[in-house]
Structure 1
Amino acid sequence: MVIRWYKRLFLKIFVTVWLTSFLVIALTAFVVGHLSETERDRDVQSARALGQAELLIDRYERNGRFPSKKEWRRDHDDKHHTDKRLSRDRIQIKDLQTGVVIFGRDDKKKMRSPMVMELISDNGRQYRVLVETHIPPPLKDKLFGFFLSVQVGLLMVVAGIAALLISLMVVRPVNRLRQYTRDLYNGDLSARTDDGLSRRGDEIGELSREFNQMAEYVEQTLQSNTHLLQDVSHELRAPLARLQMAAGLAGQKMSGADQQYIDRINQECDRINRLIDEILRLSRLEQMEVSDQPFELASVIGTLVEDYRFSAPHHPIQWNPVNYRIKGNPALLERALSNILGNAVKHTPAGTEISIAAELTADKVLIRVTDTGQGLNAEQLAKMFKPFVRFTGQQNGYGLGLSIAQRAVQLLGGSLSASSQPGEGLVLLLSFPKV
């Protein structure tokens, strides 16, 4: 099964960690910055208002009056003046001893976000100063501007680096475990995790150690089953031979209608003998030497094609020789292709053409065996490589031929797959690493 790119664990971890860390850091920085900016702005306004009020009170106590509106506008509304926020309508000075508002708005008019301060003049009089603070821009505007700033870009980069490191810390060992699992599935029973994984003290290390235990158990179980098959098959040969001998002796003393029972016994004995041969062939396959020397495909396939053209002339076989090479024991490829061709001959009508073609890709050598029989449906394709599986209507064979072929291909470091459309034949694809 091919994992879609957007479903990969690396992408899920990266996006989750990146978004979470970025949003948490960015929002925290925004809130802290907003609060500190508000406090700083309020302090600045307080200092400005207090300084302005001191000047006004000093002028009032010296001159006996405050500046008129015209004088105020001349002094504070000039286009070159740096502070235009303290208009006459936004400041109020009240004499606390008399309770009279001596400057600015009266108490009946409300100010927005007023700031209250008290001060004592040089003459010892107490005053209360109310200043309307300016309204900050809407929060959404500040938030929008913040996320367009350079600081946010730096936060995104830092959060991305952190997410990348965390993702690699999790995904890389998982991918290594997956490769060891694939090796075990492909027939490498000696596959074990490396020391770097098994010595880890976290959950991944525990998982790798449990994988090694599972692989050890699988290897021992399969080897025990192989030895059991060999032992049972050999033990069956002796009584089967005696049964065939007894049937032969009995057949010499019988004649006429009774001979059909002897023939039936001999037929079933032959079937059991062929089944034992298949089982022994399957068990011995694991013991075949796996070489790493390259060999020519043309020599192995050409010999098989000639053999089948002679033994099965009613099935035309098409093969165009090529000069491709793969590594391994050529006997394994011969065993795999022999079983595949034998399966095609058994289960397709006479006159059905069988073709063998080889092609070279960037990193693979592909061998495609195609027949023009009835084909298989999806359910049959899923079961066809399992041992002792035969489909309805198939009386020849024991369901071991394609299992043997698949195991031989795996021992060569390749893979065997099948595709078919009912009524359009069967295609078996052997894929091997390029030399």
Structure 2
Amino acid sequence: MAIRWYKRLFLKIFVTVWLTSFLVIALTAFVIGHLSEQRRDRDVFSARVLGQAELLIDRYERDGRLPSPKEWRRYHDDDHKEPRFFPTRVQITEVKTGLVIFGHDNIREYRNPLVFNVLSDTGREYQVVAETRIRPDLAAKLFGFFLSVQVVLLMVVAGIAALLISLMVVRPVNRLRQYTRDLYNGDLSARTDDDLSRRGDEIGELSREFNRMAEYVEQTLQSNTHLLQDVSHELRAPLARLQMAAGLAGQKMSEADQHFIERINQECERINRLIDEILSLSRLEQMEVSDQSFELTRVIDTLVEDFRFSAPDHPLEWAPVNYRIRGNPALLERALSNILGNAVKHTPADTGIVISAEQTAGNVLIRVKDRGPGLTPEQLDKMFKPFVRFTGQQNGYGLGLSIAQRAVQLLGGTLSAQSQPGEGLELLLVFPRI
């Protein structure tokens, strides 16, 4: 089953790392910049207040009077260009006498007050209290920050870092997946490359575990294949002796008892056919996988003629095509022969079979469709497993389609099936296009 693009591990890692790193770096930069700007604004505000206070004190000592706060604001129009640095409420008090020479507000109502002690040129000491109202607009500042060039650079840097991390994780995982797929498709020699197996991290450990598993699977399957061959060959001799003994016994028995001999011969023939299929399955693994190309029509035409002769009650439809695939033509012949034999065996007489071929994007697709009763989804999941027979199917031993699937895999293709009950069974053989 193909993975949807938004569920891919690469996309998940990339988005997570990119978004996390970008937000962490951007917010850290914003907070540090905001705190630095607050400190700078406070220093500018303090210097502005101190300068204004010194001017007020100097004028007071010179003239003996001070303007009101409203007159002072009108007098210093240039301060309105930066209103956030202009103290809205200021109080100046002579320390020695406690006289308030400027401002008459209650300093307890000041928000975030700044307190200075100023020593005038005449030697008098004054206390200056100013209300701080530096409140920058965080929303506007944040919006402007995320539209700045710095944020674009942060996004690019975070994207590069996320891409590198994603590739470091996903690329070896994809290579392991390909090796696993090769092993599943029948390449028992599939092993991870040295670059993966020599890694010292978890991926390297996983690749080494995969090699150990593949080695075990190869040895087990080869042992089973050799066992099947040996047992099948060993069964042939006693089976032949049993048939010979049944023939001799039949010569000495009366005609009334001949049905026992016929039953023995029938069972012997079934065992013989089972041995033939087991040997066919084991010999299939030893067939040469050629790299030469061949014409589909040449193989399918021969099979169609054979089945039209051996199964005339199942009409075959086939339109020759000029397609070629790569591999051993005997493997395709074995696969299609078993598929057609299965269709003939499990469909009623006068049921037609249609064979067609077409080219798709990068593939050659062969369809074999019968018009039989079809299979249920549960049966479709099990139909390619060895020795699986469904209820009511007494012909065969459940090896034909397993042999066909293995032959298709050795050709580098895939074999699948689709069906609806009552609408027949369609087998799809897909091969790489050359």
TM-score (norm 1): 0.96
Residue 229 (structure 2) pairs with residue 230 (structure 1) = yes
Residue 389 (structure 2) pairs with residue 390 (structure 1) = yes
Bigger mean CA deviation after superposition, 401-410 or 115-124 = 115-124
Query: Which consecutive residues of structure 1, in runs of 5 or more, have no partner in the other structure?
Result: none
C-alpha spacing 1:69/1:204, structure 2 compared with 1 (3 Å): closer
C-alpha spacing 1:381/1:84, structure 2 compared with 1 (3 Å): closer
* TM alignment of 1:182-221, pairs within 5 A: 182-221=181-220
CA distance in 2, matches of 1:361, 1:9: 29
Match of 1:55, as an amino acid? L
Shift of 1:82: 4.2
CA distance in 1, matches of 2:359, 2:404: 21
CA distance in 1, matches of 2:288, 2:405: 16
Aligned residue in 2 for 1:403 = 402
Shift of 1:85: 5.3
* Percent identity of paired positions between Structure 1 and Structure 2: 80
Secondary structure of 2:423's partner?
coil
Residue 281 (structure 2) pairs with residue 271 (structure 1) = no
Secondary structure of 2:109's partner?
coil
Residue 311 (structure 2) pairs with residue 312 (structure 1) = yes
C-alpha spacing 1:222/1:81, structure 2 compared with 1 (3 Å): closer
Shift of 1:389: 0.3
Aligned residue in 2 for 1:169 = 168
Aligned residue in 2 for 1:65 = 65
Match of 1:337, as an amino acid? L
Bigger mean CA deviation after superposition, 97-106 or 159-168 = 97-106
CA distance in 2, matches of 1:356, 1:310: 16
Shift of 1:52: 1.0
Shift of 1:140: 3.5
Secondary structure of 1:66's partner?
coil
CA distance in 1, matches of 2:212, 2:371: 46
Shift of 1:241: 0.3
Aligned residue in 2 for 1:26 = 26
Q: Is the 8 A contact 1:355 1:370 kept in 2?
A: yes
Secondary structure of 1:292's partner?
coil
Aligned residue in 2 for 1:155 = 154
Q: Is the 8 A contact 1:300 1:330 kept in 2?
A: yes
C-alpha spacing 1:42/1:266, structure 2 compared with 1 (3 Å): same
CA distance in 2, matches of 1:19, 1:367: 47
C-alpha spacing 1:87/1:321, structure 2 compared with 1 (3 Å): closer
C-alpha spacing 1:83/1:309, structure 2 compared with 1 (3 Å): closer
Aligned residue in 1 for 2:14 = 14
Q: Is the 8 A contact 2:387 2:397 kept in 1?
A: yes
Bigger mean CA deviation after superposition, 1-10 or 342-351 = 1-10
Aligned residue in 1 for 2:372 = 373
Shift of 1:74: 3.8
CA distance in 2, matches of 1:232, 1:392: 28
Shift of 1:136: 1.2
Aligned residue in 2 for 1:328 = 327
CA distance in 1, matches of 2:203, 2:171: 11
C-alpha spacing 1:300/1:382, structure 2 compared with 1 (3 Å): same
CA distance in 2, matches of 1:205, 1:73: 74
Q: Is the 8 A contact 2:91 2:107 kept in 1?
A: no
CA distance in 2, matches of 1:191, 1:141: 60
Q: Is the 8 A contact 1:88 1:104 kept in 2?
A: no
Shift of 1:388: 0.3
Bigger mean CA deviation after superposition, 311-320 or 145-154 = 145-154
Q: Is the 8 A contact 2:188 2:214 kept in 1?
A: yes
Match of 1:288, as an amino acid? M
C-alpha spacing 1:108/1:334, structure 2 compared with 1 (3 Å): closer
Query: Which consecutive residues of structure 2, in runs of 5 or more, have no partner in the other structure?
Result: none
CA distance in 2, matches of 1:88, 1:12: 52
Match of 2:305, as an amino acid? E
CA distance in 2, matches of 1:83, 1:33: 20
Residue 130 (structure 2) pairs with residue 145 (structure 1) = no
Match of 2:22, as an amino acid? F
C-alpha spacing 1:363/1:97, structure 2 compared with 1 (3 Å): same
Aligned residue in 1 for 2:252 = 253
TM-score (norm 2): 0.97
CA distance in 1, matches of 2:85, 2:66: 15
CA distance in 2, matches of 1:135, 1:25: 26
Provide, for residues 90-123 of structure 1, a one-character-per-residue CA deviation record: whole Å limited to 9, x for no partner: 2111111111211013336622222111111111
CA RMSD for the aligned pairs?
1.6
* TM alignment of 1:39-78, pairs within 5 A: 39-68=39-68, 71-76=71-76, 78=77
Bigger mean CA deviation after superposition, 82-91 or 299-308 = 82-91
Secondary structure of 1:369's partner?
strand
Shift of 1:312: 0.3
Secondary structure of 1:118's partner?
strand
C-alpha spacing 1:332/1:142, structure 2 compared with 1 (3 Å): same
Q: Is the 8 A contact 1:90 1:105 kept in 2?
A: no
Shift of 1:145: 3.1
